[in-house]
């Protein structure tokens, strides 16, 4: 069973439907016991960094997230679910994250009249290391993004893919059982479904 963490923010139903479409059973939950029993865990996210951290704390979900990652369960962070894994984010001031990974979440800043913020729409990935979850996805495939902030890991070796948007930003990270992406696989059609199918099959 894949536990999709429900902390009151995010497009949870579309993620659940995408997993079901590729044959994986999921549940939307904020129960630590259900997360502990799950074989896989997904941390989605849409919204503001500090609001999401506050909700995770209020629902008692911070320890279950850390425990699932320490136990080696396949863990997927999506969009803000990637950003929350880092030390701190600068949205609406500087706020602590889950600190699973060292690094900061920063805002795109461009000269007036240059690129728009948020970065919204389809963009490509450059793979910087072998990535089993993308093994069935052709090079040059497009994924869907919508975000104003991006992660800057202290350890560049965490980067699994990068994407160009004014800067070459880290668009996904991988460490052992942990994979997290800035793009939305549930909105990325065939390529995104292939990633979710591969994640659900991980052991």
Tokens of 143: 């994924």
Tokens of 85: 């894994």
> Where are the alpha helices (H) located in the chain, listed in sequence order?
12-21, 32-37, 49-58, 62-70, 80-83, 189-201
Average pLDDT, the chain: 95
In angstroms, the CA 125 to CA 81 distance is: 18
Phi, then psi, of 96 in degrees rounded to 5: -70, 145
Please list the active-site residues: 79, 184, 186
* The predicted structure's pLDDT at residue 52: 93
For each of the domains in the chain, give its residue range(s) and CATH number, in order of start.
2-201 (3.40.50.880)
Note the pLDDT tens digit of each residue in 66-83: 999 999 999 999 999 999
Break the chain down into helix, strand, coil percent, rounded to 5.
30, 35, 35
pTM of structure? 0.96
């Amino acid at each position: 069973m894949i536990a999709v963490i429900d902390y009151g923010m995010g497009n949870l139903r579309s993620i659940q439907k995408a997993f079901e479409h590729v044959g994986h059973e999921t549940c939307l939950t904020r129960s630590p016991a259900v997360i502990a029993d799950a074989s896989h865990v997904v941390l989605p996210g849409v919204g503001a960094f500090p609001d999401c951290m506050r909700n995770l704390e209020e629902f008692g979900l911070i320890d279950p997230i850390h425990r699932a990652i320490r136990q080696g369960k396949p863990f997927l962070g999506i969009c803000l679910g990637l950003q929350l894994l880092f030390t701190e984010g600068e949205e609406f001031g500087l706020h602590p994250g889950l600190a699973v990974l060292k690094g900061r979440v920063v805002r795109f800043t461009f000269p007036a009249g240059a690129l728009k913020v948020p970065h919204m729409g389809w963009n490509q990935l450059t793979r910087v290391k072998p990535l089993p979850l993308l093994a069935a996805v052709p090079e040059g495939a497009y994924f869907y993004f919508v975000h104003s902030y991006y992660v800057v890991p202290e350890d560049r070796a965490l980067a699994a893919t990068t994407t160009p948007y004014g800067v070459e930003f880290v668009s996904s990270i991988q460490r052992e059982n942990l994979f997290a992406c800035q793009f939305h696989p549930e909105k990325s059609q065939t390529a995104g479904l292939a990633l979710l199918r591969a994640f659900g099959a991980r052991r």
